[in-house]
């Protein structure tokens, strides 16, 4: 009997070594591009209509769009802070760039546009 038990144990161990390894979870999906075409167009339109006046010229100390060094000291939480400032205003910048008719979506799209241009 001990011989038979050894043979069974050896066979079991051999079969176990042939088993497939546990499957690894699939890798996370690649993140979507920062801006969809629709959001980029809406953001650019809102930016041109409301934001560009100051962010293209530096009026009232506004950091220039497309110049990362102008934004460097602002915040490590730049995206979240940018959205909040765009909606509520900050220093010399009025809420929604001074256009109360700008929708939440347009404000976010304009902020996303500025972020994509400045920090690609």
Banded model confidence at residue 114, pLDDT cuts 50, 70, 90: confident
111 has a pLDDT exceeding 50: yes
- Return the CA Rg of the chain: 28
Domains of the chain, first to last: 34-118 (1.10.760.10)
Residue given tokens 């347009």 in the structure block: 106
Measured CA to CA, the distance from residue 59 to residue 52 in angstroms comes to 10
Q: Find, among 100, 120, 52, the residue nearest to 112 by Cα.
A: 120
Identify the pLDDT of residue 32: 40
* Helix (H/G/I), strand (E/B), else coil: 93: strand
- Mean pLDDT on 94-100: 91
Q: Find, among 11, 110, 97, 4, the residue nearest to 54 by Cα.
A: 97
Q: Are 45 and 108 in contact (CB under 8 A)?
A: no
* Helix (H/G/I), strand (E/B), else coil: 90: strand
Identify the pLDDT of residue 99: 92
Please list the alpha-helical segments (H only) found in 1-120.
Answer: 2-18, 37-46, 52-55, 68-71, 78-88, 104-118
Check residues 47 and 20 and name the one with the higher pLDDT.
Answer: 47
Check residues 16 and 119 and name the one with the higher pLDDT.
Answer: 119
Question: What is the residue-averaged pLDDT of the chain?
Answer: 75
22 has a pLDDT exceeding 70: no
Q: Find, among 118, 116, 98, the residue nearest to 107 by Cα.
A: 98
- Mean pLDDT on 104-116: 88
Span 52-94, pLDDT tens digits: 999 999 988 888 999 989 887 776 667 778 888 889 998 888 9
């Amino acid at each position: 009997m001990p011989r038979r038990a050894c043979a069974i144990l050896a066979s079991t161990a051999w079969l176990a070594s042939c088993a497939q390894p546990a499957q690894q979870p699939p890798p996370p999906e690649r993140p979507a591009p920062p801006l969809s075409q629709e959001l980029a167009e809406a953001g650019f339109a809102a930016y041109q209509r409301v934001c560009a006046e100051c962010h293209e010229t530096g009026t009232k100390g506004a950091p220039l769009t497309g110049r990362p060094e102008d934004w460097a000291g602002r915040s490590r939480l730049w995206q979240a802070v940018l959205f909040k400032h765009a909606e509520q205003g900050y220093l010399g910048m009025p809420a929604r760039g001074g256009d109360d008719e700008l929708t939440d979506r347009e404000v976010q799209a304009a902020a996303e546009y500025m972020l994509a241009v400045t920090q690609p």
